[in-house]
């Protein structure tokens, strides 16, 4: 998959951002609407197990990693054009922090402020050799994973993203498919083993994840955090391989638009969740499977909106504002229409 012309976007990164957003909302909706604890043996209880086996701790890791990749690409591309990539990046994360500061008032535990602070801390690593960055990131990630320090894992995950940019991991993927296939096969084996191990520690009864848990539940959740990066990497490998098929690319093309507007869609996920909560009085009354239905509804709205919006505009609404603050110039919002050959 080649970068698109003009803005040199790497398409696979947009697909991955969109994919990450699909998973993030499934977990974020639980505390925002104070979703009810499932009844033992119910379909809601089964869905809760599914969430904490295959979603929780899987998608925020991917989102954090992708932010690191974007970190590297912004600076390197700006520098290649004769601009000061460091200054642009500092303005970019300052804007992100301000947006996150407002967002966190409505969504406690949101990621944008954390990304901004972590990005500032990791700025010196942009010039560190990729081999050193890889070693540091893996050592810290493994240590924090075993200690189940979820919040602090953002640091090594973003550093891994920077390292992926240094290695040009997502460029010329067609030439790397054999390596990707082998790596994905290995991850499949390790991830299955990890998920089986986590499943063996599934609590006997449903749990209120955000209202305190017992020791058995804490162990189950900790194992999920520990294996999260492995499962996330497996998802990435599988998606990359599937997207080599033209049929899958076409089928998932709305996901690419969704990912191109990742900032806008991430913020508006919260807006839609609260809007539904207030309009339909869903706070503390919504069941787990009902939260899934609401998420699917938000998917449909946002995916359709993203596709239609990017048909006429170059950037998402918040991405456009973010770009203005970053470059201190107002880019054209309307998509340029290429003239066809004269008849």
Residue 262 sits in which domain range?
Answer: 11-327
Task: Look up residue 118 and give its two tokens.
Answer: 């972590």
Please state, for a pLDDT cut of 90, what percent of the chain lies above it. 89
Residue 222 lies in a domain: yes
Q: Quick check: 225 pLDDT over 80?
A: yes
The pLDDT value given to residue 142: 97
Band of pLDDT at residue 174, cut at 50, 70 and 90 = confident
> Percent of the chain, pLDDT > 70?
94
DSSP 328: T
336, part of any domain: no
Residue 116 placed within a domain: yes
Please check the confidence at residue 28 and state whether its pLDDT lies above 50.
Answer: yes
Nearest to 100 by CA among 327, 303, 314, 322: 322
The pLDDT, as a whole number, for residue 121 is 96
pLDDT at 235: 98
Instruction: From residue 5, give the alpha-carbon distance in Å to each of 10, 11, 39, 91.
Output: 10, 11, 52, 26
Looking at residue 3, what is its pLDDT?
A: 41
Number of folded domains that form the chain: 1
Task: Give a yes or no: residue 1 inside a domain.
Answer: no
- The span from the CA of 160 to the CA of 135, in Å, is 9
In a domain, 341, yes or no: no
Task: Decide if 151 is inside a domain.
Answer: yes
pLDDT at 337: 56
- How many other CB atoms are found less than 10 A from the CB of residue 20? 26
**Rounded to an integer, what is the distance from CA 92 to the centroid of its chain?**
18
Q: Is residue 76 part of a domain?
A: yes
Instruction: Give a yes or no: residue 2 inside a domain.
Output: no
pTM of the model: 0.93
């Amino acid at each position: 998959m080649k970068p698109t012309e003009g803005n040199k976007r790497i398409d696979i990164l947009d697909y991955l951002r969109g994919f990450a957003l699909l998973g993030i909302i499934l977990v974020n909706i639980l505390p925002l609407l104070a979703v009810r604890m499932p009844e033992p043996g119910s379909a809601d209880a089964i869905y809760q197990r599914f969430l904490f086996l295959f979603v929780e701790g899987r998608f925020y890791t991917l989102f954090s990693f992708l932010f690191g990749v974007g970190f590297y690409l912004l600076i390197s591309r700006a520098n290649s054009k004769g601009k000061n990539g460091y200054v642009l990046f500092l303005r970019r994360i300052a804007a992100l922090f301000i947006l996150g500061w407002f967002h966190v008032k409505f969504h406690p535990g949101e990621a944008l402020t954390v990304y901004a602070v972590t990005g500032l801390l990791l700025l010196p690593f942009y010039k560190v050799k990729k081999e050193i960055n890889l070693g540091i990131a893996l050592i810290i990630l493994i240590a924090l994973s075993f200690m189940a320090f979820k919040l602090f894992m953002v640091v090594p995950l973003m550093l891994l993203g920077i390292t992926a940019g240094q290695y040009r991991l997502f460029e010329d993927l067609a030439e790397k498919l054999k390596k990707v296939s082998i790596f994905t096969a290995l991850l499949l084996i390790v991830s299955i083993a990890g998920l089986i191990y986590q499943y063996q520690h599934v609590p006997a009864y449903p749990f209120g994840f955000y209202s305190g848990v017992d020791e058995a539940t804490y162990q189950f959740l900790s194992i999920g955090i520990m294996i999260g990066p492995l499962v996330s990497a497996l998802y990435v490998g599988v998606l990359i391989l599937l997207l080599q098929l033209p049929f899958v690319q076409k089928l998932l093309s709305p996901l690419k638009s969704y990912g191109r507007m990742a900032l806008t869609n991430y913020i508006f996920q919260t807006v839609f969740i609260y809007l539904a909560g207030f309009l339909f009085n869903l706070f503390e009354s919504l069941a787990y499977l009902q939260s899934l239905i609401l998420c699917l509804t938000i998917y449909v709205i946002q995916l359709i909106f993203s596709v239609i919006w990017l048909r006429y505009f170059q950037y998402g609404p918040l991405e456009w504002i973010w770009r203005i603050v970053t470059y201190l110039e107002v880019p054209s919002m309307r998509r340029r229409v290429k003239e066809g050959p004269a008849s």
